[in-house]
């Protein structure tokens, strides 16, 4: 996949373009890309995804609490994995936000990107003050000689699939639903930092504590996870805890994972934690010994889950 930062004139004369934020690159997004690729093949042109960085909401509303599912880096790799020809990353600025809907279509989609088809979701809005909608897009398509395809909402289990739905599922700790919508396991990446050291000394379950790069972290609690260790090119089974360790009265939230059948030191290494299933809430045990027995039961439950699990992992 060719990645172009900013808007420049494309060599290729025929393109099928979709435009959006595509946070999470969930299966609804993947369906849109499939349509774009199919059309591109039909007309002998290139499939093009146009997206923005940073997310427009973060630029337009500085205090908006929006948290993103994917980092920009992951979004690029996930779109690449979908088999798209060209990804255009437009730096979103206040100045860019001033472009009128028709100017965006004429100057960018028509003159620079040579759109023959423009594929958007049913609720697509574009241009200054979001004044452009699918009706305007169709009108401009007649003027600038491209066709417009508006795709319907994609539903799974009776629910409309959207980035918002994925964010809510993660916030509620409903990993199964988030993963169903994403078509893969949700993951966080982070460097292993020094923890309290209690894991190995008191509990006998050493944990790698991480500082996640992602903005959304699943709800506090205990999870069955898989852990990819890039420098070993390997993935292991594990159990993770997100919380404040009430048994020890900690104040700060920690993100930690105990990796099964693994004994190396990972300090300062970057690891990826894929969430498979939620096991339970974090709780205050009456003693470290009780907690130790609790973790042993978590591991047993996790091993049972892994036996049947087929969740796809995003490794690179």
Rule CB under 5 A: which residues touch Mg ion? Answer: 195, 199, 207, 209, 256
Residues 274 and 82: their CA atoms lie apart, in Å, by 20
Q: Is 179 in the site for ligand RBF (CB under 6 A)?
A: no
Q: Which long-range contacts (CB under 8 A, 24 or more apart) does 54-58 make?
A: 54/92, 55/21, 55/23, 55/92, 56/21, 56/92, 56/97
Look at residue 198 and give the partner it binds from ligand RBF, Mg ion, none, a contact being a CB closer than 5 to 8 Å depending on partner kind. Answer: ligand RBF
Among 105, 169, 227, 291, binds ligand RBF (CB under 6 A): 291
Cβ-contact 256, 250 below 8 angstroms: no
Contacts to ligand RBF from residues 15-74, by CB under 6 A: none
Q: How far is the CB of 257 from Mg ion (least distance, A)?
A: 9
Residues 28 and 120: their CA atoms lie apart, in Å, by 12
Burial of 273 (0-12, 13-18, 19+ CB in 10 A): buried
Q: What are phi and psi of 282, to 5 degrees?
A: -75, 145
C-beta closer to Mg ion: residue 23 or 256: 256
Burial of 223 (0-12, 13-18, 19+ CB in 10 A): buried
Q: Is 298 in the site for ligand RBF (CB under 6 A)?
A: yes
Distance (Å) of CA 126 to CA 14, 200, 263, 268: 22, 54, 52, 43
Contact pattern for ligand RBF over residues 184 through 223, marking x by CB under 6 A? -----------xx-xx---x-x-x--------------x-
The pair of structure tokens assigned to 40 is 């591109």
Look at residue 298 and give the partner it binds from Mg ion, ligand RBF, none, a contact being a CB closer than 5 to 8 Å depending on partner kind. Answer: ligand RBF
C-beta closer to Mg ion: residue 74 or 298: 298
Contacts to ligand RBF from residues 222-281, by CB under 6 A: 222, 239, 241, 245-248, 256, 258
Q: How far is the CB of 279 from ligand RBF (least distance, A)?
A: 7
Q: Which residues are catalytic?
A: 256
Name the residues that contact ligand RBF, by CB under 6 A.
195-196, 198-199, 203, 205, 207, 222, 239, 241, 245-248, 256, 258, 282-283, 285, 291, 294-295, 298
């Amino acid at each position: 996949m060719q990645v172009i930062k900013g808007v420049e004139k494309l060599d290729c004369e025929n393109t099928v373009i979709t435009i959006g934020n595509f946070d999470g690159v969930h299966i609804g997004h993947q369906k849109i890309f499939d349509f774009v690729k199919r059309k591109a093949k039909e007309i002998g042109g290139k499939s093009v995804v146009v997206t923005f960085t940073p997310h427009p909401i973060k630029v337009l509303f500085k205090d908006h609490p929006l948290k993103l599912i994917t980092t920009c880096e992951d979004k690029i790799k996930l779109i690449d994995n979908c088999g798209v020809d060209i990804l255009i990353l437009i730096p979103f600025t206040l100045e860019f936000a001033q472009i009128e809907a028709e100017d965006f279509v004429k100057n960018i989609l028509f003159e620079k990107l040579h759109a023959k088809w423009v594929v958007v979701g049913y609720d697509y809005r574009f241009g200054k003050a979001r004044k452009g909608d699918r009706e305007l897009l169709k009108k401009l398509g007649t003027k600038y000689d491209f066709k417009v395809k508006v795709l319907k909402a994609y539903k799974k289990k009776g629910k409309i699939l959207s980035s918002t739905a994925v964010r809510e599922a993660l916030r509620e700790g409903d990993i199964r639903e988030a993963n169903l919508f994403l078509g893969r396991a949700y993951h966080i990446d982070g460097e292993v930092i020094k923890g309290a050291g209690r894991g190995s000394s008191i509990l006998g379950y050493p944990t790698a504590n991480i500082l996640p790069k992602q903005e959304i972290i699943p709800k506090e609690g205990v999870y069955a996870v898989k852990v990819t260790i890039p420098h070993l090119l390997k993935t292991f089974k594990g159990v993770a805890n997100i919380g404040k360790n009430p048994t020890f009265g900690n104040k700060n939230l920690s993100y930690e994972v105990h990796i099964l059948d693994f004994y190396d030191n990972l300090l300062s290494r970057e690891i990826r934690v894929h969430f498979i299933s939620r096991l339970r809430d974090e709780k205050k045990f009456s003693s470290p010994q009780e907690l130790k027995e609790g973790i042993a039961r978590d591991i047993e439950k996790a091993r049972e889950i892994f036996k049947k699990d087929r969740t796809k992992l995003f490794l690179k």
